[in-house]
Amino acid sequence: MVRLAVLLALPVVLWLLPATYFDEGQAVCVSRLLFDVECYACGLTRAVMHALHLDFSEAFYYNPLVVVVLPLLILLWSIWVRQDLKTLGFYPL
C-alpha cells in the first residue's frame, strides 16, 4: 500500500519540481568523482527531468540516451503500479 502511494506520487512530485531542479550541484557519478570521466549515464537524471517537462531539446543535450531510458522507466513504473494494484485486488487491463 505504501509502495503504491510512493509510486503514484513520484511522477507528480517530479513534474511539480522545476525542470532545472537537478541542473546544479555536485555530481554523484562514481566514474566522474573518482576518475573525472563521464560514463554513458552521466546527465541522465537531468535529461529525464527535462523530458518529463517536455523540454526534449534540453533533455537530448544532457544525454541522448534519454529517448531509450525514459520509455523503459515509464514501462517499469507501469508494471510496478499494475502489480501493486493486483495485490490490492484491483485488476486493471
Query: Cα(34)–Cα(56) distance, rounded to whole angstroms?
Result: 30
Per residue in 41-51, pLDDT tens?
Answer: 888 999 999 99
In the chain, the number of structural domains is: 1
**pTM for the whole structure:** 0.83
Cell of 12: 507528480
Residue 15 makes CB contacts below 8 A (sequence gap 6+) with 52, 53
Full domain range(s) for residue 57: 2-87
**Grid coordinates in use for 90?**
484491483
Does 93 reside within a domain? no
User: For residue 74, is it within any domain?
Assistant: yes
Burial group, residue 87, by CB count within 10 angstroms (0-12, 13-18, 19+): exposed
Quick one: pLDDT at residue 36?
A: 84
| Parts of the chain with a pLDDT under 70 | 92-93
Alpha carbon distance 73, 20 (integer Å)? 20
